[in-house]
Amino acid sequence: MPWLTALLALPLVGLIVLLAIPGKARNLVRLWANAVLLAGLGLALPLWQSFDRTANGYQFVDRMQWIPTLGAQFLLGIDGISLLLVLLTSLLGPIAALASWNAIEERTKEFYAMLLLLQFGMLGLFLSLDLLLFFVFFEVVLVPMYFLIGIWGGERRLYAAIKFFLYTLAGSVVLLLGIIALYWQGGLHLARPTFEITELLKLQLALDVQRWLFWAFFVGFAIKVPMVPFHTWLPDAHTEAPTAGSVLLAGVLLKMGTYGFVRLSLPLFPEAAREAAPILAVLSIVAILYGALISLMQQDWKRLVAYSSVSHMGFCTLGLAALNSNGIAGSVLQQFNHGISTSLLFLLVGFVYERRHTRQIADFGGLAVVMPRFAFVFAVAVFSSSGLPLLNGFIGEFTILQGAFIVSRTWAAFAVFGIVLGAAYLLWLYQRTMLGDLRNEANRGLADLSLREWATVLPLLMLALAIGVYPKPWFAVLERPVLEIVGRFGR
Amino acid sequence: MNFLDTLWLIPMFPLLGAALMMLLGRHQFLDPQMKNSSVGHHHHHDRGHDQDLRPRQGPRWLIGPLCSGFVLLSFLWSLGAVFAGRSEQVLFTWVAGLPFPAFDGRMVTLTADWGYLLDPLSAVMILMVTGIGFLIHVYSIAYMAHDGGLYRYFGCLNLFVFFMLVLVMANNYLLLFVGWEGVGLASYLLIGFYFKRKPASDAAIKAFLMNRLGDAGYLMALFFLLSIFGTVRFTEMQAAPHPLLPWATLLLLAAAIGKSAQIPLFTWLPDAMEGPTPVSALMHAATMVTAGVYLIVRAEPFFRLTPEVGSLTAAIGAASAVIAASIALVQHDIKKVLAYSTVSQLGLMFMALGVGAYWAALFHVVTHSFFKAQLFLGAGSVIHALDGEQDLRLMGGLRHQMPQTFRTMFIGTLALAGWPGLAGYFSKDSILTSAWVASPVLFGAGLFTALLTAFYMGRLLFLTFFGPYRGDQNIHESPKRMTVPLWVLSIGSIGAGWFGTPFAGWLGATPEPHSWAIMVASAVVAVAGLGIAYHFYLRRPGTADRWEEGVAPVARLLRARWYFDDLYELIFVRGLARQGGDWLSAWDRRVVDGGVNGAGWLARKAGDISKWSDTWIVDGAVNLTAISVKLSSFPVRYLQTGLAQGYAFLIVLSLAAMAGWYLLRSA
């Protein structure tokens, strides 16, 4: 059986079997979902070994006919960029499932069904090499996430879920128009109409056509990232979502936007991208500083982490806007890093929320006294997120800033203050929650990390350290595809 | 055994200690206090087994000696390596990024090794870091004996030494940055060691963020260097004039200012006194603040090519020296006096760097590390004896009860004040000589700083050890484990100054010839400063108060620490962070989300309108059709009632009609 198809089919098959399990057997449901997602990780990990770092183009390609009359295919394949995101998704899926073990007591079966469907959609998006298939997965992901937020979310879950859905749907509509227009262009200039991305890359589009298409795609992806000023769905959705939802939303879903840029917008419309790059860069820098400053002022622990994503994703889009090798490679690596660090932060706030059912920072303080191990892990997460060398965040930010510097010293000079502010809001959060005296009596009996909780954070901690200490292999994977993209800008 | 091939072991020893403490500390070296608190809360661990209930009293006493041992090993190893010669050792390719165009257009790859360089400059720093670091570790064993979280303390102390060693041993600017940020992390952890106290965690954050501000400059400098030279490896960078080189050096200077606590980024260092006193000794003497000086000495080729940045360095140094020394005059906290003194002394070093006397700066780093460590540890001994009291006004006369501490601090004070023949005298003299060659203004600032230094150190000494005791504590001399390191350090405070010329030679520098006039002036100033302090605080107590009233505005300025802290609080904390964050939050909620929610509202209104039009217009049209059909069908309806009798009646009626019509026609 083809590897990638199997990887993609696994959560779907798991979902179908799950539906046959009686909903009352909650632990069996949990066990099954965890097992399926873990098996997915087991299936995805060997890709890292088998992946050929010296080859150009896509690997492990699976091709089947889908809608022949339209030229749409079921076409899967990966390069170094999608490899990282597939691995990230495969890792965060089981972690999110394991983290929800005790949190979801109502409609447990439906919850895990949504989680599996979500996993299917996310993997499909990063695997597809057919534009129509890509779009289908882009939409598939919306549905389970809508329900995850809307059913198992916090107090304002309905507002958040609808806002999330409509925001992204609005982007999708414009994206779909762009895709259809691109398909139309393909029909005019290619031998036969097709949605295959590598075929569409052969198009020599006129600049004004590129411009229209670039901005159509931009709307779809910028909302997903989200870039300022399309970001306000994010704090609501992240804050109200259950822990698993927040982890996957921040860890994977946001990357669908940046992935869209790097896989489609940049290589398909290189001249338009070059024209638009300064605008993207300015929006990114605004996001970096703006997100950080707003994070400083949050009173809600989870909302603070949510806003920090705006800032961190600003670094990712800044790297893309640099349109050069280190900028783009750094951006992809930073997408991976953000998946690790922010997931850690969301997991940790989730653990505390499960114990105390509040997220208000003012309700905490001095937790390090009762939860020293938690405090240790939280400290590592904080420093990983704020880009301390020898942890993962640094190397991504460093290469992004270097890439930006090559294009414009001014960009780098502004963006570099993001690392100061990033440390500021995280350290202040740490102080207000972990340090000081244990003032609130309700926090006195809080249990430290359980074994299950350790199991969710430990892989992320080790990965954060591994990338920080030895980042070389990660660049080795990215080198070929990134140089290929940069080559399209004709410099 | 070849020391040069095993350079990597030097930082590895303290890293090992740090890792051991961090990973196993809580299990193997459980503190009694910690155990008590955890027994109380983890009820689910009590499963009735005896071994679970029995406190796991680990060998707590082992923590200190173990971690000190790691640093000692590191010291001995570096001693062996330094005597073996020079070396550069690349362990592995650490960062291997992608190619990019340098300023001159050639494509270069972004790479940096994890590699160590042992040259005279790094040798000096390594020996100082490990040697003085070791003494501070030993001292800490007794000083921290009664504190909880001992494993955390020693783990962080080892981590500090590790990162400092990476900083000074790195063979490229990117790896240097790892140590650079790493000591920032370690200092954050140690300044905030008493994490339950808000001032401690505040100070830790302040230190980290102010350092980060400098680090931002470092990163930018790195990008400039990368683009100018195409590499960050020291031995591959051939310094040559370049139009953008001034930017690189300026940004390196910014980084050094942050780390070495110079104006305008000096306010974190006095606050950092919130950490345990041995930590202050470590940060002020051997590690952390010396990193800025080291960086500029390392970047000497670039600074030589950009004299304008050099002048700025000297100006900042001179200003920091005078301002910090003036603030030290009025501090009542014994540690704060020493802290401002450090800023001031670092200012002298920056002045030396600015005028091109790199070796003199480094010389002063070394001598300063001896007597400043000694003074801080001595102050710690006093604070220890007075049960935490740090206010000079509540001390006095301690020389009788604490003879060992007194003697060593006496030596340290004289050394810092520049008493002829002691360490500080010689290194300060080298700086003053170089300053004189460069500019009389700088020389004047240096000499004035020396006068202030002698005065505030005399004040500290007299208020602490002479006169009557003004407190109410039961005083005791500190144990040997604390006083022995003090005596070892005093050897350096006395003797280190005599090795200036060989030191300069080793670094390959040619010192300015000594000028007898400057040496005499410097000696006179030192003695005068001490003499004035003697007059003010011992011979005529109260003189100082009268003077303070006489120059009240000046005294206010000094007490307010030249208003730097208030200014920063206003601009950054209240202004930028709080106000700016609030405004942006409001902007997000009101304007951006206002737009989104407004769009939602519009959509709902549009929905209402279409609902209305659906009901009245679309449905109206449909219903109208229905009604008109209904109306038009009204007569016909009665023909199809479905009642059989009706149909029969109709049939009969029709038959009758048809029959009638037939009959009539035929008739």
3-state secondary structure string across chain A: CCHHHHHHHHHHHHHHHHHHCCCCCHHHHHHHHHHHHHHHHHHHHHHHHHCCCCCCCCEEEEEEEEECCCCEEEEEEECHHHHHHHHHHHHHHHHHHHHCCCCCCCCHHHHHHHHHHHHHHHHHHHHECEHHHHHHHHHHCHHHHHHHHHHHCCCCHHHHHHHHHHHHHHHHHHHHHHHHHHHHHHHHHCCCCCCEHHHHCCCCCCHHHHHHHHHHHHHHHHHHCCCCCCCCHHHHHHHHCCHHHHHHHHHHHHHHHHHHHHHHHHHHCHHHHHHHHHHHHHHHHHHHHHHHHHHHCCCEHHHHHHHHHHHHHHHHHHHHHHCCHHHHHHHHHHHHHHHHHHHHHHHHHHHHHHHHCCCEHHHCCCHHHHCHHHHHHHHHHHHHHCCCCCCHHHHHHHHHHHHHHHHCHHHHHHHCHHHHHHHHHHHHHHHHHHCCCCCCHHHCCCCCCCHHHHHHHHHHHHHHHHHHHCCHHHHHHHHHHHHHHHHCCCC
The torsion angle over the Cα atoms of residues A202, A206, A208 and A211, rounded to 10 degrees, is: 20
pLDDT band at B344 (very low <50, low <70, confident <90, very high): very high
pLDDT digits (tens, 9 = 90+) for A215-233: 999 999 999 988 888 888 8
pLDDT higher than 50, residue B212? yes
For the residues A293-322, what does the mean pLDDT come to? 91
pLDDT value at residue B1: 60
pLDDT higher than 90, residue B483? no
pLDDT band at A162 (very low <50, low <70, confident <90, very high): confident
Residues of A in contact with B596 (CB under 8 A): 163, 167, 232-233
Contacts with A, B 43-62, CB within 8 Å: 44
Find the length of chain B: 667
At A296, list the tokens.
Answer: 């400083």
Q: From the list A232, A329, A436, which residue is nearest B201 (CB)? A: A436
Residues of A in contact with B584 (CB under 8 A): 290, 293-294, 297
**CA–CA distance, B290 with B262 (Å, rounded to integer):** 12
User: Are the beta carbons of A431 and B209 separated by less than 8 Å?
Assistant: no
How many angstroms away from the CA of B629 is the closest CA of chain A?
42
B519 CB within 8 Å of a chain A CB = no
Contacts with B, A 269-298, CB within 8 Å: 290, 293-298
When comparing pLDDT for A358 and B26, which is higher?
Answer: A358
The number of angstroms, rounded, from the C-alpha of A14 to the middle of its chain's C-alpha atoms is 23
pLDDT digits (tens, 9 = 90+) for A76-129: 999 999 999 999 999 999 999 999 998 888 888 999 999 999 999 999 999 999
For the residues B213-238, what does the mean pLDDT come to? 91
Q: From the list A413, A428, A447, which residue is nearest B220 (CB)? A: A413
pLDDT higher than 90, residue B66? no
Q: From the list A294, A366, A372, which residue is nearest B584 (CB)? A: A294
For the residues A325-352, what does the mean pLDDT come to? 94
Q: What type of residue is A292? A: A
Q: From the list B42, B96, B212, which residue is nearest A472 (CB)? A: B96
pLDDT digits (tens, 9 = 90+) for A35-86: 999 999 999 999 999 999 998 889 999 999 998 888 899 999 999 999 999 9
Phi and psi torsions of B116, nearest 5°: -115, 145
How many CA atoms, within 13 angstroms, populate the side-chain half-sphere of residue A238?
Answer: 33
User: Are the beta carbons of A482 and B98 separated by less than 8 Å?
Assistant: yes
Residues of B in contact with A431 (CB under 8 A): 201-202, 205
Residues of A in contact with B11 (CB under 8 A): none
Q: From the list B94, B110, B188, which residue is nearest A399 (CB)? A: B110
B192 CB within 8 Å of a chain A CB = yes
For the residues B109-119, what does the mean pLDDT come to? 91
A484 CB within 8 Å of a chain B CB = no
User: Are the beta carbons of B201 and A479 separated by less than 8 Å?
Assistant: no
At B341, list the tokens.
Answer: 């003194």
User: Are the beta carbons of B219 and A290 separated by less than 8 Å?
Assistant: no
A152 CB within 8 Å of a chain B CB = no
User: Are the beta carbons of A389 and B177 separated by less than 8 Å?
Assistant: yes
Q: Output DSSP code: residue B194.
A: S
pLDDT value at residue B243: 87
How many angstroms away from the CA of B324 is the closest CA of chain A?
26
**CA–CA distance, B78 with B66 (Å, rounded to integer):** 18
User: Are the beta carbons of A293 and B576 separated by less than 8 Å?
Assistant: yes
Q: Which of B15, B31, B38, B100 to mutate to test the interface with A (most CBs of A within 10 A)?
A: B100
pLDDT higher than 90, residue B553? no
pLDDT band at A176 (very low <50, low <70, confident <90, very high): very high
pLDDT higher than 80, residue B319? yes
pLDDT value at residue B34: 44
User: Are the beta carbons of A472 and B94 separated by less than 8 Å?
Assistant: yes
A168 CB within 8 Å of a chain B CB = no
ipTM surpasses cut 0.90:
yes
pLDDT higher than 80, residue B46? no
For the residues B178-204, what does the mean pLDDT come to? 90
A197 CB within 8 Å of a chain B CB = no
pLDDT band at A1 (very low <50, low <70, confident <90, very high): low
How many angstroms away from the CA of A73 is the closest CA of chain B?
34
For the residues B189-205, what does the mean pLDDT come to? 89
Q: Where are the alpha helices (DSSP H) in B560-592?
A: 564-568, 581-586
B41 CB within 8 Å of a chain A CB = yes
Omega of the bond leading into B32 within 30 degrees of 0 (cis): no
Lowest-pLDDT choice from A50-59, A311-320, B9-18, B554-563: B554-563
Smallest CA–CA distance from B188 into chain A, residue: A427
pLDDT band at B50 (very low <50, low <70, confident <90, very high): very low
pLDDT higher than 90, residue B60? no
Contacts with B, A 388-417, CB within 8 Å: 388-390, 394-395, 398-399, 401-403, 405-406, 409, 412-413, 416-417
pLDDT digits (tens, 9 = 90+) for B118-142: 988 899 899 999 999 999 999 888 8
pLDDT value at residue B37: 38
Residues of A in contact with B41 (CB under 8 A): 370, 444-445, 447
Q: From the list A295, A366, A420, which residue is nearest B196 (CB)? A: A366
**CA–CA distance, A475 with A491 (Å, rounded to integer):** 21
Smallest CA–CA distance from A327 into chain B, residue: B98
| Identity of the highest mean pLDDT range in A92-106, B493-507, B577-591 | A92-106
Q: What type of residue is B646? A: G
Q: Are A480 and A53 in contact (CB under 8 A)?
A: yes
pLDDT value at residue B47: 33
pLDDT value at residue B56: 47
User: Bridge-partner residues for A72, per DSSP?
Assistant: A67
- As a whole-number percent, the residues of chain A with pLDDT over 70 amount to 100
Smallest CA–CA distance from A229 into chain B, residue: B592
Q: From the list B41, B101, B188, which residue is nearest A406 (CB)? A: B101
**CA–CA distance, A378 with A301 (Å, rounded to integer):** 13
For the residues B449-460, what does the mean pLDDT come to? 90
pLDDT band at B15 (very low <50, low <70, confident <90, very high): very high
pLDDT digits (tens, 9 = 90+) for A177-211: 999 999 988 888 888 888 999 999 988 889 999 99
When comparing pLDDT for B141 and B639, which is higher?
Answer: B141
pLDDT higher than 90, residue B272? no
User: Are the beta carbons of B227 and A406 separated by less than 8 Å?
Assistant: yes
Please state, rounded to an integer, the average pLDDT across all residues of chain B: 84
**CA–CA distance, A197 with A194 (Å, rounded to integer):** 8
Q: Which of B38, B98, B162 to mutate to test the interface with A (most CBs of A within 10 A)?
A: B98
Q: From the list B96, B195, B212, which residue is nearest A423 (CB)? A: B212
pLDDT higher than 90, residue B24? no
Q: Which of these, A487, A491, A480, A489, lies nearest to A52 by C-alpha position?
A: A480
Omega of the bond leading into B11 within 30 degrees of 0 (cis): no
**CA–CA distance, A239 with A148 (Å, rounded to integer):** 12
For the residues A267-274, what does the mean pLDDT come to? 92
CB atoms within 10 A of CB B660: 10
Smallest CA–CA distance from A333 into chain B, residue: B97
Residues of A in contact with B590 (CB under 8 A): none
pLDDT band at B54 (very low <50, low <70, confident <90, very high): very low
Residues of A in contact with B209 (CB under 8 A): 420, 423-424, 427
User: Are the beta carbons of B94 and A427 separated by less than 8 Å?
Assistant: no
Element containing residue B178 per DSSP (H, E): helix B173-191
How many angstroms away from the CA of A385 is the closest CA of chain B?
14
When comparing pLDDT for A209 and B396, which is higher?
Answer: A209
- As a whole-number percent, the residues of chain B with pLDDT over 70 amount to 94
Residues of A in contact with B212 (CB under 8 A): 419-420, 423
How many angstroms away from the CA of A156 is the closest CA of chain B?
14
pLDDT digits (tens, 9 = 90+) for B398-424: 888 888 888 999 999 998 888 888 888
B93 CB within 8 Å of a chain A CB = yes
Q: Are B385 and B401 in contact (CB under 8 A)?
A: yes
For the residues B637-653, what does the mean pLDDT come to? 77
Q: Are B465 and B411 in contact (CB under 8 A)?
A: no
User: Are the beta carbons of A166 and B198 separated by less than 8 Å?
Assistant: no
pLDDT higher than 50, residue A313? yes
pLDDT band at B52 (very low <50, low <70, confident <90, very high): very low
- As a whole-number percent, the residues of chain B with pLDDT over 90 amount to 23
CA torsion sign for B655, B661, B665, B667 is positive
The residues, any chain, with a CB within 8 Å of residue B644's CB and separated by 6 or more, are none
CA distances from A369 to A99, A444, B166, B203 (A): 24, 9, 32, 20
pLDDT value at residue B57: 52
Q: What type of residue is B325? A: A
pLDDT higher than 70, residue B239? yes
B593 CB within 8 Å of a chain A CB = yes
At B564, list the tokens.
Answer: 């730097």
User: Are the beta carbons of A406 and B593 separated by less than 8 Å?
Assistant: no
